[in-house]
Structure 1
Amino acid sequence: MIGSNLAYAQDGAQQSDLMIVLDGSGSMWGQIDGRTKIEIARETLSQVLEETTTEMNIGMIAYGHRERGACGDIELLVPVIPAAQSVSQIISAASNLQPKGKTPLSDAVRMAAETMRYTENAATVVLVTDGIETCNADPCALASELEAAGIDFTAHVVGFGLSADEGQQVQCLADITGGAYFSASDAGGLQDALTRALNRPEIAMDDSDFTPVGPEPRNVEFFIRDTANDPILGIRELTIAITRADGTPVARDDYSLNYPEASDLSATASLPPGQYTAAITRIGIYEASVTFDVPAGTGTHLVDLSLSARLVINTFLNPALPLDTGNPPASSVKSDAWSYYEIYAINDGDIAETPLFEAYQDLDFALPAGVYLIRANLDRTTSAEKIVAVAPDGITEVDFSFDVTRVFVEAMQTNGQRVERQTTYFYDEPPSGRNYFASGGGVASNGDVTPFYLPTGRFVMNVGGEGYGARRSELIVDVTGDYADIRLVVGEGATLSTDEIAFLTSPDHRPCATFLRVKYVGCLMNPVP
């Protein structure tokens, strides 16, 4: 029975007041096994509380149950009073909740702490939530604030139907305040989690109950980074499993990941002297395995771990023209020639189906040593790719060139004036409707002629004023690969010759090898083997 377990083992020990904070947000209408989460929560709360010891003082706050979209929708439903009086009120209040709104869980926990006068009295909060904070508050910062100001403040968190990533975003409330985080995915899990959250007694220990085995463990503090000079990583970015040298796992209770913003370190552990291996996942990016030693001795042992190497990409329009990804050059396709990049792992010659990274600037990536494929698109026109090998324990810098030439086009009328509303299209095959691979204007609103960025090859250009019909011109543009700027001034009415059309369909013509999408589709002339 929970009632008997909730009593403290030490005679005369004073229990802290306890406040349940219950999620009444709209997402609680979601279903698990054919039943709504609010229905499961009401039933489970009733079952657990009916077995609660009458010696407890307990109350309840709910949020998100009265208004849609209101971050201030937080209500004290039952004050903290003896359980003999409050349990029936809590069960009744929960049964009347009608989920509607947002998830201001941080402010709800703050209200619970302040209601229990946490700066003067011991206070415990049990938060039951099916979602993460949605009201622009930081639960981790709140936990640090309550832990620092409270006499004996503790928060336990029950994540009902949360994903692992969502759970990590609220787990800090428990970790920082000395509480526990419980994950529940169904009705049975919620009952178990609530029972355990309400059953966190202080148990009197006696040294005679234990027989020392082996050397005394040492406190170990970990500082884990991508590479040596990077910021410290913690529970938001990592998962970790530690094993001994013989392969046996270290008990999960003997180590834990931390929030670096709260503790200035990645993880803590209590480990006997010996050699260990840490299997670490950089969530969503890479996995690493590192070994470390805990020497015999006293005091805290510090372990610095660098998990990966770095890949830095230096970008170029062509070998003679660097490309500043943060300050792209002018373009005729859009106002600026933005570029986009994807990094794929290659394992045993196979290219991963999904990229490890997607970026358009700050091309500095932490990843394990290995072989990778860089794919990129420039100006929604040209794509390029390159295989690179990243060396361990350091920075690998690679030059990545799109190998394009700047092509400036100015269309003129027969009277010597520029055409009105110039439009320009490029084709890698005989023009037929909309089978162009690049299009744009050619002249900016301020009158400047702006470039297209074309790969090496022979292309057809259609250019003229918008709506000019037969007055528009079609001609061959040869981009030879010497990367010298090409500047074209084109009159009206030019057409392709019979020989030019024949060449475009002959075996000697080399069109785009394929069209590769990296955010946008572009002409790829030289695919990797």
Structure 2
Amino acid sequence: MMRLKISRIVAPLVAVAVLAAVGLAATRPALSADAPTAMLIVDGSGSMWGRLAPANRPKIDVVRDKLGALLTEPSSTRVGLISFGHRRRGDCNDVEMIAGPDSPRQSVLDPLSKLSPRGPGPVTAALRMAADAIGSSRPAQIVIVGDNADNCRQDSCAAARAIAKSSPGVVIQVIGIGLSANERPRMACMAEATGGRFYDIADSNGLDAAIEEAVKLAVLSPSDVAGGEAKSVAPKAPPPPAGASLRASAALAEGRPLITAPLTWRIYKAGGAKALGQGVGKDISAKLPAGDYDIEAELGGVKARHTITIADGEAQSIIVSLNAAHLLARAVASKNGPPSPTATLSVSSNGQPVALKRGDTVDLYLQPAEYGVTAVDGAARSSQTINLAAGDDKRLDVALSTGRLDLSATGANGGAIQDVLYTVETDDPESPDGRREVARSRSPQASFVLPEGTYYIGANSGNGLTSKRVAIGAGQTVTETLAIALVPVKITALVAGVPAKPDDNIFYRVDRIDGDRVSIARAIGPALDLSLSPGRYRISASLATAHLSASKEVTLDAGKPAKAVIDIASGQVNFVPTAAAVPAFGDLTWEVANENGMPIWRATGTQATAILAPGKYTVRFDARNSHGQAAFEVRAGQSQKLEIGPG
């Protein structure tokens, strides 16, 4: 069964323009200056050679044959033809007005039959060309038939909105063939902007039917147009196929168009509980003996039954009314903005959940009621309510007021950095440092969806850090490449005037002191090799065993490797006892006090070595049978030996 989904989007006070389906020159009525005008835009991009089931025919063949047949019927409408991508590969300027609206009908039919797709899809450029060709002629309509949204970096939605504003009365109909989830809203928006119809087609049967309906709508006479909207015509139930006694179709409500989405069908004996048969499709046909039957149609969470009586030799066609509504809800970044594919949509009624879906679109058939639709994307959240009555076919866009932030990072040589951590912060007066992190990513090319506002973005790679403030507007995409130009730095320490040794256990700390003040690195060892972003830093070195430390500030310039030597002001003293002070057995205990008499260092052993800050000290040793002490002074960078005897 074919799948044909129709979104009816009719703007108030916009006259429905009439699309031409006109006859050949021999039968065509004379055209007047105020005759309806229509411009056909037929996709000539290479993908139109793709085949459609169940006919297994190329899309372009179905389009050419159906339009060609319809355009031979008599009509007073002025018709023009535009195509794109049909002459050159890879050329987004390949847009041609094959026939203007005042051209003879054969000037439309002959080129249409020879159209050979091959290039890209500049849909937007073709749309603007069609609007220019229509000019001030009213009523007027543009019909687009294609299998892809614009792939030439143009905004078709914005172009359609501009046409609706500058050329009121021009209606755009869009027939989309096999569109992806991302392409569908980018095609539907053109119809929405002007009160036209969007046809979502999946197979050759659906394409054939959509083209026929679009053209038939276009040849409505002015008397069939009232208040800017086409008069609603009650659908007719299609007859049963040969050999069948029943064909059942479905509609949202009595008098509404037939549903083309696949339904689940079941046939019961009247009042019975066991199905005699079932199927899935837009309708169901069956050969049934005379009797009473219940025909059940189910779509989404909606179910309805219709009771019929079939007499001998009788064939019946019925339309089952679901007494339901159709809702197509989308999460969009901003009003009239692009969809938000990373959003989550939820639908509820009377506080009870109805649907939850990840993605920018949820397509539901629902019981008449009031519904709440909520879209969530990252930190952004927005909700709307909508009342649905039986027969309603509505679309609802929930605007999140979000923007997109795309980040990448490069090194000093301009090459992309793969190992990087991105952070995104926002102002927060309640946080200790006045900012709050809202997102982070380790992806080399990170993408964030954020509520509109001002943010502080950072990129950290190794010990390189860079940051920047950015503003993001609703519906806006901000792309930033953060340059992390790292400077090699070798950090060493001097202890008592000589380079630190491995057993000195120097503790290093590096802090950024300009821009965002953050701690960059901490490490223990005789030396430290880092790569840092250009800027100002404070580098500290501590000798924990001696409670000594020193620091210095350095400025690193891009492209200039640097060295930083931290001189821990100190001297080395080697304490040695005289021969008379050496005990017969056991060790000596050493203690050093500062000039205030406070002990600051102790050690045990026949000899001992201390690293001390410059100043005056007293050393004392204790052994089993002897004691001794001596006063001494330490100078920075000095190494001395101090012999101490008993006494």
Task: Report if TM-score (shorter chain) is over 0.5.
Answer: no
The answer to which structure has the higher strand fraction is 2
The answer to which structure has the higher helix fraction is 1
TM-score range, shorter chain: 0.3 to 0.5
